Amino acid sequence: MTDSRLADLATRLPALRLLTDAADLEHYGRDWTRRWAPAPLAIALPASVEEVQEVMRWASGHGVAVVPSGGRTGLSGGAVAANGELVLSLERMNRMLAFDPVDRTLTVQAGMPLQALQDAAKAHGLVYPVDFAARGSCTIGGNIATNAGGIRVIRYGNTREWIAGLTVVTAAGERLELNRGLIKNSSGYDLRQLMIASEGTLGIVVEATVRLTNPPPPAQVMLLALPDLDALMQVFALFQSRLLLQAFEFFTDVALRHVLAHGAQRALDGDYPYYVVTEFDAADEAAQEAALAAFEAGVEQGWILDGVIAQSEAQAAALWRLREGITESVAPRKPYKNDVSVRISAVPAFLQAMQELLGREYPQFEVVWFGHIGDGNLHINVLKPDDLDDAAFIAQCEQVTKRLAATLQQFGGSISAEHGIGLVKLPYLDSTRGAAEIALMRGVRRAFDPQGILNPGKLFAPEPI
Ligand code: FAD
Ligand code: MLT
Ligand code: ZN
């Protein structure tokens, strides 16, 4: 260990696991974006809150930048370490700490994978309802730092709704206990909520107390084929008025082609331009009949062209795979990802504007649309042509994103619905937040981290000196 700063860290914390091999620097220095070359100083894998505190005291003392790291499934570059930062991985802090049956909460270490948390809730007969395809790899700490959404936001909301308390280590190494699981707490600023979606720029989340809920009634899963985007929102209104929806997710024929090429099973014989996977409560025969009636009403109106309802758990999983498999299936094509949102009422007009914009700006590229349309959240993935160099591709996409951001601004939407600003969306923060708001956000950051050592260069550009 030739770096004197690292030698000092090793002296202060002889038991700290510290990695500096090239393969480890590469592995822990990047997330799913794959756009930046990883170049961290080292990787620290603390095993306790006390070790995290001492690492932060060391980082403050030496002025070393620290990148908090969960499962690195992030899609906005938030966990990328490309400038000699120390990556602080919560990987080893992945245990359950407590279950409280009266409060109906679980307290866990921040490095616990989302799926492990869901399983722990299930073991107590309850549910942690935030859910999405990266569940096996992403961590609750990363979910909190990005305010992750997913496929059941329409019923249960984002991660923010489920966080009852947080233990956080500050840049200076102090330990904060935020909200302590209270339901009612009118004692001033809610720093717990400030931590959520802060993308590792305000503190290291080391423990979280999450709320749990009752398992939903048995559900049914339906795949619907639709003729156009107008029909999409008509069917959404129809289904929402008649059924208790748990999910309403959309994708296009282009997305379906990629998922099928990646090994998923075709569920309908014909080819259609748009699809929806929807899940709804179907506790009894009456609820199932209501679903069938809603389907038939949609067919009569010409909004639904075909559909299938899952008859078993295996079939439900197969239908879900058509939607959840999209990210992985397009990953080899190095997609340029957009993750935008507008109010639900603005979705029809926004989709129209997007169709015009993307048709005009990307005539030569393959564009994959999908997303949590019931929440007003659309994912637009532009796939890189094989013969186009990475930098040229990104430069072209950035030009279009400027126009997309301007359109979003007109609609009062957000440039990042659920993935975070990170590095990818950093130039467009001001399309979603006003100048005065950004100045206050920077002030909050300075209050928490005066030296600016926590995940610098993410969320907003470094402060002008
Ligand atoms: P990382 O990628 O490791 O980090 C993300 C950010 O959080 C970084 O800024 C990092 O510095 C910070 N951070 C991580 N841990 C901590 C901590 N303990 N304290 C402070 N800061 C921390 N996201 C959605 O919202 N909805 C989806 O439906 C969805 N689907 C996905 C599907 C796939 C297949 C993939 C690959 C990703 C998907 N994502 C989705 C994106 C991603 O999984 C989420 O952003 C997730 O919350 C990131 O968690 P992570 O542990 O991997 O965080
Ligand atoms: C999804 O909805 O599948 C995720 O947000 C991942 C993605 O956008 O690729
Ligand atoms: Zn999503």
pLDDT digits (tens, 9 = 90+) for 240-254: 999 999 999 999 999
Share of the chain above pLDDT 70, in %: 99
Q: Is 400 exposed, middle or buried (0-12, 13-18, 19+ CB in 10 A)?
A: buried
pLDDT digits (tens, 9 = 90+) for 14-69: 999 999 999 999 999 999 999 999 999 999 999 999 999 999 999 999 999 999 99
Q: How confident is the model at residue 239 (pLDDT cuts 50, 70, 90)?
A: very high
- Our answer on whether the CB atom of 416 is closer than 6 Å to any ligand 2 atom is no
Q: At what angle do helices 347-361 and 390-411 cross, to 10 degrees?
A: 150
Ligand 2 atom 9 nearest Cα: 327
Alpha-carbon distance of 267 to 261, in angstroms, equals: 14
**pLDDT over threshold 90, residue 464:** no
Q: Identify the pLDDT of residue 289.
A: 96
Q: Which of 51, 132, 201 to mutate to test the pocket of ligand 1 (most atoms within 8 A of CB)?
A: 132
**pLDDT over threshold 70, residue 343:** yes
Q: How confident is the model at residue 379 (pLDDT cuts 50, 70, 90)?
A: very high
Alpha-carbon distance of 380 to 376, in angstroms, equals: 13
Q: Which atom of ligand 1 is nearest to the CA of 32?
A: 36
Q: Identify the pLDDT of residue 363.
A: 86
- Provide mean pLDDT across the span 222-236: 97
- Our answer on whether the CB atom of 379 is closer than 6 Å to any ligand 2 atom is yes
Q: Identify the pLDDT of residue 161.
A: 98
pLDDT digits (tens, 9 = 90+) for 266-318: 999 999 999 999 999 999 999 999 999 999 999 999 999 999 999 999 999 99
Ligand 1 atom 21 nearest Cα: 200
pLDDT digits (tens, 9 = 90+) for 67-118: 999 999 999 999 999 999 999 999 999 999 999 999 999 999 999 999 999 9
pLDDT digits (tens, 9 = 90+) for 294-305: 999 999 999 999
- Our answer on whether the CB atom of 246 is closer than 6 Å to any ligand 2 atom is no
For ligand 1, the distance from its centroid to the CA atom of residue 138, given in whole angstroms, is 6
Ligand 1, residues at Cβ distance < 6 Å? 31-32, 67-75, 78-79, 90, 110, 132-134, 138-139, 141-143, 145-146, 148-150, 199-200, 204-205, 327-328, 418-419, 422, 455, 458
For ligand 1, the distance from its centroid to the CA atom of residue 401, given in whole angstroms, is 22
> How many Cβ atoms are within 10 Å of 152's Cβ, its own excluded?
22
Are 368 and 253 in contact by the 8 Å Cβ rule? The answer is: no
Report how far apart, in Å, the C-alpha atoms of 252 and of each of 195, 316, 342, 366 are.
35, 19, 19, 12
Q: Identify the pLDDT of residue 461.
A: 85
Q: Is 79 exposed, middle or buried (0-12, 13-18, 19+ CB in 10 A)?
A: buried
Share of the chain above pLDDT 90, in %: 98
